[in-house]
Amino acid sequence: MFLLKRRGVNNHFLEEFYQIIHYTVDEAIRGNTIDEEYFLSRYSRYKTTLENHFKVLKYFSLASRVACNARSFNPLQNPLGYRLIRIIGYGGMGVVYEAERIRFGTKVAIKIIPKKDPKRIRYGVQELDIIERIMSIDCSNIVKLYEGGADRDFLYYSMELLKGKTLEEMILSWKQQGYRYSYCQAAQIISALCTAVAALHGHGILHRDLKPSNVFISENGAVKLIDFGLACLKNQVYEWGEKDNSIIGTIDYMSPEQILGDHETLAPCSDIYSIGAILYEAVTLNQPFMDLIDNACAMDKYQCYEPKPAHIKNPQVPVGLSRIIQKAMEFEKTMRYQSVSELSNDLGVFAPRFCRT
């Protein structure tokens, strides 16, 4: 999701930003000219992100019109072969669109990463390397990836177009509507997430950015892990801020060793911590550390405090499930589950005892 979507940012700005994005995409699809200078001047707080957005729109609007006017698809006129339809997500390095594969007439999601600067190019190349590896993994709980590649101005990869909601959206809905959800539903979603993460770990890949917005529940109930922008090979540190000790990822779900900058010793138990944090929020409707404001506060909190047990935060949560979450979120990584399979097995033991259908 868009980087401004974090604690401390006024919701008005988020709504304003998305209105700009959706309006300009609609105008581009209609073939209308967009006054870029007007938007960059009036909404200067989003200048860098909007510049990237307009660059993508320029290229794909032109390519789409050429392809639509041609009697047959011409790869020289539209080298990527996609027609953009609408924006469906915004990330730190790129934009995700619903698109049509012109040659086949099928709908897909496509992530576009502009080659704006060397740092962005390096990130994109590293992400594509991981995407190619994930394409070979056969797991129904990982979003299906189709192809990836590079054009003169962009890096990209396409994937199946999903219909449904992210876990983040579901949790928000539960909060707003006062929905009496079942903690069993949350446990079942996380069990499916464990299957996806175990498949990644089995191929030597760490996700490093597990969070509710990257867990998708389709309309038929299938759970899919999406977005691999920070994934890396185990024992191989990619240069996403590691050299300058900047924090890369989402601190609310990050393991202590990751948030404290211990990138070189990251292991599967780091992802396991994040799974525990997601499950904690899903069953309590609160993040483990609700009062984290900035990165400095986060570091202090991880070194001095532990989150309140889930069954204390929400008395409806069985103590057994709460203990599973606590073990996944132990500060000392050697005290956590050492494999996702161990965590999944404990959830499997929990479900038959407490989740009666």
Same domain assignment for residues 181 and 82: no
Same domain assignment for residues 195 and 320: yes
CATH number at residue 196: 1.10.510.10
Same domain assignment for residues 37 and 141: yes
What is the number of domains present in the chain? 2
Q: Does any domain span residue 2? A: no
Give me the DSSP letters along 186-215. HHHHHHHHHHHHHHHHHTTEE-----GGGE
- Among 115, 139, 160, identify where a domain stops: 160
Same domain assignment for residues 111 and 168: no
- Residue 207 is part of which domain span? 164-354
Q: Does any domain span residue 18? A: yes
Kindly report the three-state secondary structure assignment for every residue of 164-176. EEEHHHHHHHHHH
Q: Does any domain span residue 4? A: no
Please give the model's pTM, rounded to 2 decimal places: 0.75
CA angle 170, 206, 146 (to 5 degrees): 70
Same domain assignment for residues 148 and 272: no
pLDDT digits (tens, 9 = 90+) for 15-47: 677 677 777 776 666 666 777 888 888 888 778
Per DSSP, what are the bridge partners of residue 108?
A: 99, 160
What is the model's pLDDT at position 110?
Answer: 87
- Among 132, 160, 188, identify where a domain stops: 160
- Among 109, 131, 160, identify where a domain stops: 160
Q: Does any domain span residue 3? A: no
* Cα(186)–Cα(203) distance, integer angstroms: 26
Q: What are phi and psi of 116, to 5 degrees?
A: -85, -35
Contact 110, 173 (CB under 8 A): no
Same domain assignment for residues 313 and 331: yes
Q: Does any domain span residue 5? A: no
What is the model's pLDDT at position 223?
Answer: 97
Same domain assignment for residues 168 and 148: no
Q: Does any domain span residue 138? A: yes
The percent of the chain in helix, strand and coil, each rounded to the nearest 5, is: 50, 15, 35
What is the model's pLDDT at position 71?
Answer: 32
CATH number at residue 97: 3.30.200.20
What is the model's pLDDT at position 161?
Answer: 94
Q: Does any domain span residue 176? A: yes
Same domain assignment for residues 142 and 212: no
What is the model's pLDDT at position 254?
Answer: 87
Same domain assignment for residues 296 and 228: yes
What is the model's pLDDT at position 303?
Answer: 56
Same domain assignment for residues 201 and 132: no
Give me the residues of the chain with pLDDT under 50, please.
1-10, 62-77, 240-244, 292-293
Same domain assignment for residues 129 and 97: yes
Tokens representing 302? Answer: 């991880």
Same domain assignment for residues 73 and 169: no
Q: Does any domain span residue 1? A: no
